[in-house]
Amino acid sequence: MEDNQNMETGHKRRVRYSGKYPKKFSEKYKEHNPEKYKEHMQHVIDKGNTPAGMHISIMVDEVLDALKIKPGMTGLDCTLGYGGHTSKLLEKLEGSGHLYSLDIDPIEIVKTTERVRAKGFGEDIWTPIHTNFRNIGQVAAEHGPFDFIMADLGVSSMQIDNPERGFSWREDGPLDLRFNPGSGQSAAERIKSLSRDELENMFIENSDEPYAHSIAAAIEKRNRAHKFIETTAELKALIEEVVSNEKDIKNLDKDGQKEAIKKSCTRVFQAIRIDVNQELDVLYEFLEALPDALASGGRAAILTFHSGEDRLVKQFFKMYKKDGIYSEIADDVIRPSKEECYRNPRAHSTKLRYAVKA
């Protein structure tokens, strides 16, 4: 009788799992509905962890301080993600003005739109737009210029935690790594098409991987044998085998070897993700178009997460300040507090820079 009622009402049973707690992402029913299980989410956050499927916004206070938002302004959040920064920017508008938010991810933008709308932010004050932030010039031509613009260049935790997206070496899944799964080559297709030298250069330029040569050679060897890498677990296993056989790693104790492998996995996955999504090219185009998207006196704040990004932002800000396009830029990079890094370990590598248009 109960099953019939479930069918009639469209009720869907949650996935069953073995053991006391769900281990697979697909089984974590609370993380798939964080608004319903707020107490559980807060408990995980208080322990210094990020709940799977959630994203904790980084350096919110510092971003708001840099942007100096006032009611009535028109703003742009170039990287909507989970909607944390967007929600805080909207709160600062106090119901007056308008915010536009961009996201290239067709999967997450739908979920986040529902999440932000549920907080009471209607079409009169907030508009989400499905596009890459490299298109800021087109967005500004239609909706700008903007009094404030922010961009969080980090990968959202929802993407990292979902093994079906292939962003993390920690869980087995298809080697994809695309922000927009419906566009461009997947990571598996990309590394299949590159030569050893191209792979090596990618690992060095995008993540300073010390074992780039050996890892690239091992991938090329598999490609020649038509044993192509298709999953995150296969790539992790290859990196593990290569790094553990390096002379300097063999001399380390077990914990040292484990840590070295972990770091190489992180760097290699980061390098491939940057390449697949053309992240540095996108950032270059964004920074080039940023001044024209800002109104006179408008402020921009950018959060970066690795040296290549920060270096590019710093160079553009300094160049435009010298040319008189920006009247002010951050003198030094702004870092998250120790307290925030404890609450959210993913904040450790974050750097914030801001600029003000003349």
Same domain, 320 and 299: yes
- Close Cβ partners of 273 (under 8 Å, ≥ 6 residues apart): 155, 167, 177, 187, 279
pLDDT at position 344 is 82
Same domain, 231 and 309: no
CATH number at residue 192: 1.10.150
- Is 50 exceeded by the pLDDT of residue 9? no
pLDDT at position 3 is 45
104-120 mean pLDDT? 92
Angstrom CA distances, 104 to 39, 61, 178, 298, 346, stand at: 31, 25, 10, 24, 22
Specify if 165 maps to a domain. no
What is the β-pairing status of strands 146-152 and 74-77?
parallel
State the pLDDT confidence band at 25, using cuts at 50, 70 and 90: very low
Specify if 55 maps to a domain. no
* Tokens encoding 302: 């950018």
Angstrom CA distances, 241 to 187, 219, 236, stand at: 20, 12, 9
Parent domain of 338: 60-157+280-357
Residue with tokens 């319903």: 36
State the pLDDT confidence band at 349, using cuts at 50, 70 and 90: confident
- Lowest mean pLDDT of 51-60, 75-84, 107-116, 307-316, name the range: 51-60
Same domain, 117 and 32: no
- Is 70 exceeded by the pLDDT of residue 261? yes
Angstrom CA distances, 135 to 74, 75, 143, 188, 316, stand at: 18, 15, 12, 27, 18
State the pLDDT confidence band at 36, using cuts at 50, 70 and 90: low
Same domain, 271 and 191: yes
Instruction: Identify the residue with better confidence: 106 or 160.
Output: 106
Same domain, 73 and 153: yes
Which secondary structure element, helix H or strand E, spans residue 288, and what is its range? helix 279-293
Instruction: State percent of the chain over pLDDT 90.
Output: 67
Specify if 31 maps to a domain. yes
Specify if 242 maps to a domain. yes
Specify if 167 maps to a domain. no
Write the pLDDT tens digit of every residue in 200-241: 999 999 999 999 999 999 999 999 999 999 999 999 999 999
- Is 90 exceeded by the pLDDT of residue 302? yes
**Domain count along the chain:** 3
Q: What is the value of pTM for the model shown?
A: 0.78
CATH number at residue 349: 3.40.50.150
Whole-angstrom distance, CA of residue 257 vs CA of residue 249: 6
pLDDT at position 255 is 93
SS3 66: helix
Instruction: Identify the residue with better confidence: 190 or 169.
Output: 190
